[in-house]
Amino acid sequence: MNRALWLTLFFAACGPEQVEQPVQVTPAVEEQPVDTSMTELTGFPCDVREALQANCASCHAGPTYVTHFNSRDDLLAPGRGTHQLGVEVALRLRPDAAFPMPPVGAPQQPTLAERQLIDGWVQAGMPGGACGELDDTP
């Protein structure tokens, strides 16, 4: 088959050139800019804050002890050892810890559920929550 015939058949098979019209999409709901300041959770989860406030804040949220913490950022920071401070706190809260916190004989001792709550939060990577910092008042 010669080349001219082949090109004629090819273009005939394709049909007339179709011109696509642009399609306008109208959103069903007007898009609003997202305010990310309210979606970034930088505080403690409220249940974690409650447990830390009840059992740790009276000593560690104020200037009483060298190991001071009152925010999630404090617990995410490096501790004295090779772990983040929050990991060290969780390890010391375990009932079998060599140097438990709070110390034996302290007037306020966390319940097993509170210890497990804080430990689970730390193991989850200390995710942010909607509640703020600890205060140094009991």
pLDDT at 90: 93
CA–CA distance, 7 with 13 (Å, rounded to integer): 10
Q: φ, ψ for residue 102 (rounded to 5)?
A: -60, 160
CA–CA distance, 40 with 64 (Å, rounded to integer): 31
Mean pLDDT to the nearest integer, 6-15: 51
CA–CA distance, 102 with 92 (Å, rounded to integer): 8
2 pLDDT higher than 50? yes
pLDDT at 40: 75
For residue 116, which of 95, 86, 98, 131 has the smallest C-alpha distance? 95
> Where are the domains positioned within the chain?
56-138
Token representation of residue 44:
């403690």
pLDDT at 31: 46
pLDDT at 57: 86
Give the pLDDT confidence of 18-71 residue by residue, as tens digits: 555 554 544 444 444 544 444 578 899 999 999 999 998 888 887 767 688 889
Token representation of residue 12:
């005939």
Token representation of residue 126:
């200390």
Cβ neighbours around 56 below 10 Å, total = 22
12 pLDDT higher than 80? no
SS (H, E, C) 21-86: CCCCCCCCCCCCCCCHHHCCCCEECHHHHHHHHHHCHHHHCCCCCCCCCCCHHHHHCECCCCCEHH
Q: How far is CA 56 from CA 16, 51, 69, in A?
A: 79, 8, 9
